[in-house]
A and B are shown apart, each in its own frame.
Chain A
């Protein structure tokens, strides 16, 4: 994003299972690296200040707002974005009305991926609480929670 100060860093990390090395401005956020340098535009920028969760990706398996991750902290780490998700797994979200304009959907899916991969995070917390960092201005949330629940049900208990 901030090419004006043009101090670059050579960044090597794993993106969706593949090693990548990119030369990017030091001031880039992870979100900028994904969208502007790697062309992975599935991850959306919503608020840009860590409120809305639209830019959620998995960093070393944990959901983070990629707008709040400076690129220099990604060196050597594992990043997964919406582009890594098998489309076939998205049917329950479509069917439950979890998506309308679609801006929040990539973030919603990535947070639900995290829950699906480690059900222990649900211990003592509701699905609604775990998903509360992904704001949606269209659906009213019931569809999202229902869609995530159905996705988890279809995958079965680990």
Chain B
């Protein structure tokens, strides 16, 4: 086992340029250390990002929220101005795990870990966030809704790290976040959704735990945009089936996820969406 601990971004990017293929970046460790106690022998190389103080900034401007690559759930949710401007981020942070997890887990880590159940990704998707990736070749910005292309398959190249997330600041007339788990606190999502609506950006619907990665739901978005008549949750099922590929696993079943997603969308939007009766 080897741990590399750069103290500035340039050094971190030099390491990744040299050995990115074999290095695992580690931030808050709330995913990577879960299996640590069962592991008999650790091999491989970790790139510890915790000393890159330059990545911990959370900055709110008139145009956007900048979430540094090492900023934690708590850093965002406990900032009143940020929480008021982005209520879905606050809700996601407060439900992602305990206070102890919120203190350590990072938004960028939630994106990088690429869990289909990621709560942070869900809220960020609904807000049209972009992921800022840096390497020695420079910086690029990838829309979060184009970041994943399969289970645990992401746009991040081995020589890149997520240095920040940019969330455009807009005024929404609908902002919804709903997480369904086996209990209210400290649970992993069985199914979740986040929805926003704004005159310019239209309807954005995102769902988690119903596909190989947290995804946008274009059929549901179109149904909302077109103002289709929806008289019951079951009227949403064709769109849900078009947008998602739920599976049976330890936490739930495909059938439950499909039905519950249609219900949380229907009851969440009944008073806000045109055509919902």
Contacts and interface: CB of A to CB of B under 8 A. Distances in A.
B5 A69 contact: no
B94 A49 contact: no
Contacts of A125: 94
B37 A72 contact: no
A54 to B, nearest CB: 11
Interface stretch (B41-49, B239-247, B269-277): B41-49
Interface string A58-91: 0100111101111011010000000000000000
A26 to B, nearest CB: 5
- Size class of the contact patch on chain A: 35 or more
B261 to A, nearest CB: 26
B48 A27 contact: no
B136 interface: no
A69 B41 contact: no
B168 interface: no
- Size class of the contact patch on chain B: 35 or more
Contact of B186 (A63, A121, A130, A133): A133
A133 B78 contact: no
Contacts of A134: 98
A132 B30 contact: no
A97 interface: no
B180 interface: no
Given A53-B100, A121-B78, A132-B186, A68 B39 contact: no
A2 B40 contact: yes
A50 B105 CA distance: 11
Nearest to B183: A132
Interface stretch (A4-12, A13-21, A147-155): A4-12
Given A7-B2, A70-B29, A130-B99, A29 B41 contact: no
Contact of A67 (B2, B37, B185): B37
Contacts of B256: none
Given A26-B1, A26-B3, A4 B99 contact: no
A51 B186 contact: yes
A53 B97 CA distance: 11
Given A49-B34, A50-B97, A7 B1 contact: yes
Interface string A129-158: 110111100000000000000000000000
B211 to A, nearest CB: 25
A47 to B, nearest CB: 9
A59 B74 CA distance: 14
Contacts of B48: 70, 72-73
B26 interface: yes
Query: Sorted from nearest, which 6 A-B pairs have the closest CB atoms?
Result: A133-B98, A48-B37, A132-B185, A68-B33, A27-B42, A49-B34
Interface in B1-45: 1-3, 5, 26, 28-30, 33-43
A111 interface: yes
